[in-house]
Structure 1
């Protein structure tokens, strides 16, 4: 599933450029010194990965608690269904219900912190910008969070989110260097492919939850394997 995390980040970064691109374009990098500029951009990405790892850790713990209560299969099926529904349900339906209202103050504080950080040029500024950037609301991050919950483990959830973040690095870095390179038909085609890929990942989670006995894709539940082993003896 880690491969799916990287692909989700790689393809989804075309969407991320539209959402977080303005922040990347406004990074106060030193454009006169190539090495220093690369270092600053790397620190920015480290900040984002750190934020994603914390998010994955938190939601992985939530998934672990559900796993302890024996809901792993149901959770995997539910997560897969939610991913597919998020693609099928028209965007205007989500816009009708403003889910961000309960956390509006938190988001405002994050944006305020970003605004202040963008005015400075110290080394820690780039870490702060990347870290705060990672907590901004994003549909693709929500999809990755679903998968982190389904990982049923704090460590695995954190790793999944980090790998997702690694997938976003190539295009986000390109956006900083060449802001006009990623415009046009190629970007539109890949954006159209993103929902298809999300549905594919959703189906994989549903298959995993069904426990059909397909190696790596839909393995049998651990309880069933233990039970059959005991019967053999």
Structure 2
């Protein structure tokens, strides 16, 4: 199941190319040297993956706490259902007017300002920093991936899941950086409409994982998921 992060990232990068593509279009890449441009672009991707991996550690720890309580199998089902429902019934409200979320939007504003400043800088470390900041920008697809990180049940697996998610976005985001605005508005809209189907697919996979239907690798019956709070004692 950990590889579903790579699948979500790759298929979901259709959305990334439409939403985060504008950032890739204006990256301060060296257009005169192909090798240097490639290394700069990989630095940008490395920055994004670093952010995703760090966030994955946090959410993996949250999942770990729930797994120790013996909730791993049920949690996998619940998170899968949430992903499916989120794709079917997106909550597009006027959340920006909510005072509770004001600190979050303030943080996002600061990240955008910092990102804008870095886009003016052409120093070697710039591309990594831009990618690192880019990883903190709000993205519904990233939120879906974080559900997967929670379901992994440990810090390192949550981090790996998010890193694989980031790696999955590399091909299309690289094309966007190299080719510029290669997607028309109409095509972006069509791609965005396809994203919910990708999220639903990943959600169904998590539900199957939690049901333990005896399907090898996909839904093993024993799940190997139960984490006991206490150790078994064996008296010789």
Per the normalisation by structure 1, the TM-score is: 0.88
Mapped partners of 2:103, 2:78: distance in 1: 24
Alignment check: 8 A CA contact 1:11 1:190 kept: no
Alignment check: 8 A CA contact 1:46 1:127 kept: yes
Q: Could you say what the CA RMSD is over the residues aligned between the two structures, in angstroms?
A: 2.1
Q: Could you tell me which residue of structure 2 aligns to residue 63 of structure 1?
A: 63
Q: How many residues align?
A: 223
Mapped partners of 2:48, 2:180: distance in 1: 20
Mapped partners of 1:143, 1:164: distance in 2: 10
- Identify which range, 189-198 or 119-128, moves more after superposition: 189-198
Alignment check: 8 A CA contact 2:63 2:150 kept: yes
- How far residue 56 of structure 1 moved from its aligned partner, in angstroms, is 0.8
Q: Could you tell me which residue of structure 1 aligns to residue 169 of structure 2?
A: 168
Q: Deviations over 1:46-86 (max 9, x none)?
A: 10110111011110011001101111112111110110111
Mapped partners of 2:191, 2:13: distance in 1: 10
Within the alignment, does 1:201 sit opposite 2:202 as a pair? yes
Q: 1:161 to 1:150 in 2, by over 3 A?
A: same
Alignment check: 8 A CA contact 1:53 1:161 kept: yes
Q: Could you tell me which residue of structure 2 aligns to residue 231 of structure 1?
A: none
Mapped partners of 2:94, 2:128: distance in 1: 35
- How far residue 214 of structure 1 moved from its aligned partner, in angstroms, is 2.4
Within-5 A mapping of 1:16-55:
16-55=16-55
Mapped partners of 1:182, 1:33: distance in 2: 25
- Identify which range, 214-223 or 153-162, moves more after superposition: 214-223
Mapped partners of 2:63, 2:154: distance in 1: 6
The structure whose residues are more often helix, as a share, is 1
- How far residue 190 of structure 1 moved from its aligned partner, in angstroms, is 4.3
Q: Structure 1, unaligned stretches of length 5 or more?
A: 227-233
Q: 1:85 to 1:223 in 2, by over 3 A?
A: closer
Per the normalisation by structure 2, the TM-score is: 0.87
Alignment check: 8 A CA contact 2:25 2:181 kept: no
Mapped partners of 2:76, 2:5: distance in 1: 15
Q: Could you tell me which residue of structure 2 aligns to residue 94 of structure 1?
A: 92
Q: 1:84 to 1:217 in 2, by over 3 A?
A: same
Q: Deviations over 1:24-62 (max 9, x none)?
A: 111111111211111111111110110111011110011
